């Protein structure tokens, strides 16, 4: 009897571990490329009027002017050659909405002002397919989560297509093995 219970408990633990591993693998496989595990993640990243786990200002959404957000950073590694920035959300439909794909930001840059169009190179957003920032305009009730990521790179990304074809996925692939640090800001916004 004890042997049967032991075997049953072992089986339950094994099944639970398999489910946990699948959940972890799913989260890891759907996340963006992160910095090398040997990096201390010292990069600091904030926006004009918002920080990580804060509220995304209405000014930068379709409910107001919809201009691109001003962003600031510090504590980049000395090996930084350029920066890249992405912003996206994953709505309940599961299809990622990308609002910013920006790369080739000079290493001497530590901030981008509101409504900037001249620093770095814009790839395409997935909302209107243009090479600009597009403001969030998420539908449905309740708060929506938006993820902004700053990447410090030791070289410019390897991009083999015109910027009018550079999606977030193409940029992430072009940054592979070049990320020396990164910082993430998750922010929320609830439409009026």
**DSSP string of 116-170?**
--SSSEE---TTT--SS-------SSS-EEEEEEEEEESS-----S-GGG--HHH
Same-domain status, 67 and 162: yes
Which of 24, 22, 87, 76 lies closest to 50, judged by CA?
87
Q: Please give the average per-residue pLDDT across 147-155, as a whole number.
A: 98
Which residue segment(s) compose the domain that 4 sits in? 1-30
Q: Are strands 179-189 and 144-153 parallel, antiparallel or unpaired?
A: antiparallel
Same-domain status, 121 and 149: yes
Same-domain status, 15 and 40: no
What is the C-alpha to C-alpha distance for residues 9 and 29, in angstroms, rounded to an integer? 30
Number of separate domains in the chain = 2
Claim: this prediction has a pTM higher than 0.85: no
Q: Please give the average per-residue pLDDT across 103-123, as a whole number.
A: 98
Same-domain status, 39 and 18: no
Same-domain status, 16 and 60: no
Same-domain status, 76 and 161: yes
Same-domain status, 23 and 52: no
Higher pLDDT, residue 49 or 27: 49
Same-domain status, 168 and 78: yes
What CATH number has the domain bearing residue 112?
A: 3.90.280.10
Q: Is residue 91 scored above 60 in pLDDT?
A: yes
Q: Is residue 40 scored above 80 in pLDDT?
A: no
Q: Please give the average per-residue pLDDT across 73-96, as a whole number.
A: 94
Same-domain status, 57 and 151: yes
Same-domain status, 19 and 64: no
Q: Is residue 79 scored above 90 in pLDDT?
A: yes
The tally of CA atoms less than 13 A away on the side-chain side of residue 118 is: 1
Q: Is residue 176 scored above 80 in pLDDT?
A: yes
What is the C-alpha to C-alpha distance for residues 169 and 70, in angstroms, rounded to an integer? 23
Same-domain status, 9 and 75: no
What is the C-alpha to C-alpha distance for residues 162 and 172, in angstroms, rounded to an integer? 15
Same-domain status, 89 and 15: no
């Amino acid at each position: 009897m004890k042997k049967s219970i032991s075997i049953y408990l072992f089986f339950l633990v094994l099944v639970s571990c398999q489910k946990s591993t699948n959940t972890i693998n799913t989260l890891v496989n759907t996340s963006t490329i992160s910095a090398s595990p040997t990096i201390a993640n010292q990069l600091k990243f904030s926006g004009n009027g918002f920080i990580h786990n804060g509220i995304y200002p209405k000014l930068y959404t379709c409910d107001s002017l919809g201009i691109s957000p001003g962003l600031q950073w510090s504590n980049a590694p000395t090996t930084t050659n350029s920066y890249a920035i992405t912003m996206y959300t994953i709505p309940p439909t599961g299809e990622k909405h990308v609002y910013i794909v920006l790369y080739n930001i000079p290493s001497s840059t530590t901030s981008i002002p509101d409504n900037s169009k001249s620093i770095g190179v814009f790839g395409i957003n997935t909302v209107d397919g243009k090479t600009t920032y597009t403001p969030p305009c998420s539908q449905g009730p309740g708060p929506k989560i938006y993820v902004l990521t700053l990447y410090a790179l030791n070289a410019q990304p390897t991009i083999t297509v015109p910027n009018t074809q550079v999606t977030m996925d193409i940029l992430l692939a072009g940054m592979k093995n070049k990320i020396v640090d990164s910082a993430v800001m998750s922010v929320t916004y609830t439409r009026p």
